[in-house]
Structure 1
């Protein structure tokens, strides 16, 4: 049985602080350790079979192949398919592979771009793997997934029909890095079918972990070719796509495929008849099928350039790669993507340094999913991020790029349902500077300083701004309130900047003053004695009757027995399963106080607290807690977006008691518990 998700989240946060999930120390996808599995297979002399992505039809996925084809699939290892299989033969090249039955041109085009960047390529595709030395039927690849690098383990059983690979195959029959890499990414997506259809930008980001920029070519900036030229000379990957046609992947008379992804593999300028011509080189992941217009392989335009340029650029082969002019490129393609670990390519000056910051967050229904600015009453409950921009050397340039990405919480890529997302940026006036905690609703009545152009149903929304030096609040949100999702907010700034969440990741508790009609202890003792046993104590059942008969109003369903058992455990100083008079009085004061707070903050007068009212109730109880803690409380104690009085009282008692536990056992920084101490504490509290 795995540990609870909250425990795993804590471990993940610790691992991130220790550098896990970084380029140099990737996380283990599905907790599979390549080195340990590889060594185990070698020691026991058997070939690895991946139980997490088994060689079965479930890994192919639904709707990709017909049933009769699925029945004919045989999963074969390369050593069975060919005589002398090689992982890499003569280096990794874009000409090594051809697209198969899978509609993943977006992924393969990105691989085409990847092959030009040696450092990134060697990280994604570990080069030491082999079918000869220490072969055990196990391979691994690395991808960036929503804020962290993961190492993905696979076996080398590949799906075939009649001895031929169904999906990507190699131009050289005994080379298998591309087919194995495709299988590893299919595992990340949940199945091969889940790779069907996508965008180049998704794979480019998963290959670099960098910032991504999309340019709509019908709105291309005048300096786009210069930007592409600089990007080609930095560690950037580039891809593009054509507009969708009448039918999927229809080939136009000029050779361009509609609704198709291409890699951008070269940028150059040549002199043609003494006039400069800007050229773009593109690669079709089909491994064939090329542009037939000006500057194509057989175009007469090549006769107008110098022999040196012709030799350097021209290759007359139907290999899927071709040149075209910048003008034809913008006419033939709808959008192009650049993904890079640095934004240096945006500036002609090479001395500009960009600072990267990012935060992971979550919108949760009722607590931190406030919707866009149209929803004035709840917008402020969204996560808030404070950023400070310093003076910039060139104040006329854009100096801040903001990216908002929705995180996938599911293994099945096609089950992810993207919401319409966007963000707003507000300038912080002097009277709000230095304020601790979230800014209130009235702060956001002002007009934002900047914002995303629109709310998009997309994996990522990104905008580039020029903002004056100063302090700002960035508020990411979904368009509609009460839409639960995880996200990553990233900023690139031209100067040193500071980005932190306004919701503090800690809590403070100030015990509220008791407000009880039984304001003297004698009355409380008399009430207590009516329910006690011969030892003048109450157990959980007696406590249940006492509370339900004397404390609740008519519209309450009453405290359940399990709730009362929990109360006894939290207040039972002698660990007897009973409460004595002193312990009962402490409990009564708290329950009565929390009941009064509950009814005071139940503005809607429904007899329940909505999750938005819960935040006000916590403030009224003297408690400052973070958004992440509030989200956990809503998930654990809420039901259909509401908390009953009983749930609220249980929540508040546990929060107060667990805070006391930490205070008593902590050395000021943390807690150390031996195994038996931890079990005693967790099993009776």
Structure 2
């Protein structure tokens, strides 16, 4: 499957409150708006035009859509009318209810909503048909501009819309999110936590309440102290159960918000309580510890004031933690990054982020089931240095996200099945080899391999050094990925990649030896049989158990060994080359495990290291793309060309390097 190539050195993340412009012109929202006002025109977005390609990529629209601006739909359009609430979010004819649920949760947090939906825009003075929204994508905030042309049928919006027919913020937000992902169709199917992460930059966790860990109460308590967004819900078995009300006043299929957690002194013992908010209305819990339940009569007035019992919002209620576990089925936590929190927030996550790629033939090794290639996956070193407060272990969340899969749907890409394993670091630097993983079990791993955009799990491990290996389930699957580590205390992470290093013997001077060996006599006879000097034309006929060398290989050999610059090899030069050739043949045979005359490209890292070249993932990926075939095999001719090109480049660099510096300056003639 295709993947989006990304620079190995991505741009720095935007500062809090800032976002990178994404329009193809390079201009930001305000600049584009002012430009339209000066010209007296309404903005039309060439990056996401009002046509069928922005709607669907796999089918024709089922009905004839007409793109209209809000002013052409109603007489008095408003961006936000009376505040952004859940009633502004009504689903249309697109299967993106997961997105709608996330937008509904977004309306519960004014600060987060204002980040995603900037309030500096409306249909009043200064209107130019342009709006903008901000989304988090892979460690950076992006500012997405759109024009306000929306798909309609018979004068009504087809997709997301507000219950108020003249309010358009939610429909425009959906359009901006569709643009971010390539089309409206790309939004079909997903999970609420995926959109919540794009709205906040946070990392999501999902818990089945009935299977939650023993310390789940403490997890919720810490999440709320960090201002994480916490939602809970009751599962539905069939569509008929949607909106169904339980005997205790809870609504199935609705997303509730968890707004508080505390303990109260009740009849001489401590009772754990959890505060829930129903954003859909005034229907609420009527069981123990509900607003007017008998339990509150046994709680002191001071305790009631501390818990703000008398000042709860409509739809907000307390319930016993044990009852919560009985009646609710799922909890989703979106842990916010420090830049999304107020400066006064006392408890914040420590966050580190790594960008990487799985590339076929070099770093797409698949899961541990495929030992022969598993070790070639990217490896990230994780150092846990400080225990949690009052604990013996270190808590962290590891979240592995595959990038841009929705955007690539139109090219046939699907969500890959992904996961990761965590190993104890043996104390060695550099990429760990196959034998390490053959003989060492993992210390921890993701709960499952699954085809979601992100896989995240929480771990508690002793302080120490670990290796995290992110993988697809199957080998040879390509994608870019983003790995985030959220830790209670500061953790140190780095790519466990090789430093580029070259260990070549000093080049031998082709001088005649005083007495020829038997091997040299045989080669002199061969040399004299071919010609007085070896040129590129006849050299390819020398067949050494492999397919004939290509003419390009012969030319490269001459280029490497021809010290006189006449395009031919003297016998003494040929002798030096033959010593290299024997070494390279032996290396190739060592990694040609089935003796087929070709070796797996996944073994190239080890083969090149045996030849004196230690390469990082980036260089290895480029070489594999250049020299391997569609079956990820490298024949000897290609292996030989690769080594010759590497040695030539190394010799040139060493000749131009001053005092063994890592960089050289070249003038045009040297290039």
- The answer (yes or no) to whether the contact 2:383–2:464 under 8 Å persists in 1 is yes
1:421 to 418, 421, 426: 418
For 1:336, what is the secondary structure of its paired residue?
strand
Asked if 2 retains the 8 angstrom alpha-carbon contact of 1:509 and 1:656, the reply is no
**Deviation at residue 357 of structure 1 after TM alignment:** 1.7
- Preserved contact between residue 405 and residue 413 of structure 2 (Cα < 8 Å): yes
Matched, 1:57 2:52: yes
| Conservation of the 8 A alpha-carbon contact between 2:226 and 2:347 | no
Moved more, 512-521 or 130-139: 512-521
For the pair 1:607 / 2:597, whether they are aligned, the reply is: yes
Q: Residues 256 and 291 of structure 1 are in contact (CA less than 8 Å); yes or no, is this contact kept in structure 2?
A: yes
Shift of 1:192: 1.5
Distance 1:246 1:324, change over 3 A: farther
| 1:5–1:279 Cα change, 3 Å | closer
8 Å CA contact retained: 1:295, 1:324: no
State whether structure 2 residue 447 is matched by structure 1 residue 453: yes
Q: Corresponding residue for 1:493? A: 487
TM-score, length-normalised on structure 2?
A: 0.79
Q: How far off is 1:390 after superposition?
A: 1.7
Q: How far does the alpha carbon of each residue in 1:210-250 deviate from its partner, in whole angstroms, 9 at most, with x for none?
A: 22221112223566466546645643223345535344884
Tell me the secondary structure at the aligned position of residue 280 of structure 1.
Answer: strand
In structure 2, relative to structure 1, the CA distance for the partners of 1:314 and 1:627 (3 Å cut) is: closer
Do 2:398 and 2:458's aligned partners in 1 also have CA atoms closer than 8 Å?
Answer: yes
Aligned 8 A contact 1:26 1:150 in 2: yes
Q: Which of 564, 567, 592 is matched with 1:579 structurally?
A: 567
SS in 2 for 1:490: strand
How far has the Cα of 1:641 moved from its partner? 0.9
Partner residue in 1 for 2:129: 137
Cα RMSD, aligned residues only: 4.5
Structure 2 residue aligned with 1:81: 73
Deviations 1:468-496 (A, max 9, x none): 22222222333444443333222233333
**Residues 572 and 583, structure 1, Cα contact 8 Å, conserved in 2:** no
Q: CA deviation at 1:638?
A: 0.8
Query: Are 1:85 and 1:176, in contact at CA under 8 Å, matched by a contact in 2?
Result: yes
Partner secondary structure for residue 72 of structure 2: helix
Give 1:395's aligned residue.
391
Q: Is the 8 A contact 2:627 2:634 kept in 1?
A: yes
CA–CA separation in structure 1 for the residues paired with 2:257 and 2:278: 5
CA–CA distance in structure 2, aligned partners of residues 113 and 608 of structure 1:
56
SS at match of 1:381: coil
Distance 1:354 1:606, change over 3 A: same
Q: 1:629 aligns with which of 593, 614, 619?
A: 619
Q: Give the structure 1 partner of residue 7 of structure 2.
A: 9
Task: Return the offset for 1:311.
Answer: 7.3
Stretches of structure 2 lacking an aligned partner (at least 5 in a row): 298-303, 511-516
d(CA) in 1 for partners of 2:81 and 2:572?
77
**CA distance change for structure 1 residues 512 and 256 in 2, over 3 Å: closer, same or farther?**
farther
Relative to structure 1, is the Cα distance of residues 109 and 632 closer, same or farther in structure 2, using a 3 angstrom cutoff?
A: same
The answer as to 2:402 corresponding to 1:406 is yes
Deviations 1:61-97 (A, max 9, x none): 2679962x2x1x1111122223333333444333433
The number of residues matched between the two structures is: 632
In structure 2, distance between residues paired with 1:41 and 1:226:
53
Q: Does 1:655 align with 2:646?
A: yes
Deviates more, 1:116-125 or 1:608-617: 116-125
Q: Secondary structure of 1:187's partner?
A: helix
Q: CA deviation at 1:466?
A: 2.5
- 2:633 aligned to which of 620, 642, 656: 642
* 1:672 Cα deviation from its structure 2 partner: 6.1
Once the two structures are superposed, the pairs formed by residues 34-73 of structure 1 within 5 Å of their partners are 34-35=27-28, 37-61=32-56, 67=62, 69=63, 71=64, 73=65
Partner residue, 1:559 = 550
d(CA) in 2 for partners of 1:518, 1:126? 79
* 2:286 corresponds to: 294
Which residue of structure 1 aligns with residue 380 of structure 2? 385
The alignment partner of 2:113 has SS state of helix
The answer to whether the 8 Å contact 1:137/1:155 transfers is: yes
* Separation of aligned partners in 2, 1:272 and 1:467: 34
Query: Aligned-pair distance for 1:339?
Result: 0.9
Do the aligned residues in 1 keep the contact of 2:230 with 2:259 (CA within 8 Å)?
Answer: no
| CA distance in 2: counterparts of 1:650 and 1:556, whole angstroms | 14
Q: CA deviation at 1:623?
A: 0.7
Matches for 1:147-226 after TM superposition, within 5 Å:
147-221=139-213, 224=216
Q: Contact conserved, 1:232 with 1:267, CA < 8 A, in 2?
A: yes
Using the alignment, how far apart are the partners of 1:294 and 1:154 within structure 2?
45
